[in-house]
Structure 1
Amino acid sequence: MTGKSLADYQSEYEKIIFYDQPRKDILLVGLLTEMEKQFKISMRTKEWEMDHPKIIAMYRKIAITRTL
């Protein structure tokens, strides 16, 4: 399985934000979970965040869009 690019996640995000609640939140959580697995975000540290600013920025953007 090859991972998605950040552009792929951005594209999915842009489609999801137009859905109604709660479907939007469910899809966003799925996107966050997928990113956590692919980029090992759950194991992040300050150093990891400094080394991967674009990944963490996209992750946070998705996270703050949720209403859950």
Structure 2
Amino acid sequence: MSEVSRVLTFDDLKRITGYARRADVERTLHEQGIRIFRGRTGPWTTVELINQAGGLKAGTQEQYGVEIL
């Protein structure tokens, strides 16, 4: 899997959280301890940062990939 495919865009985050407004998406991710970055087209994050917020360590077999979307 390429590094680009491990980035979750604002559209991905809207679908995952169920919210459409940028502020709602950002608030939800912040409340869950997921680090986000703010880009021109909206917030984005990575699968690794979501796994990290869930308590999974880098390099473990338990990490979820973007194919779960």
Q: TM-score normalised to the size of structure 2?
A: 0.28
Q: TM-score normalised to the size of structure 1?
A: 0.29
Higher helix share: 1
Q: Using CA pairs under 8 Å that are at least 6 residues apart, name the structure with larger relative contact order, 1 or 2.
A: 1
Higher strand share: 2
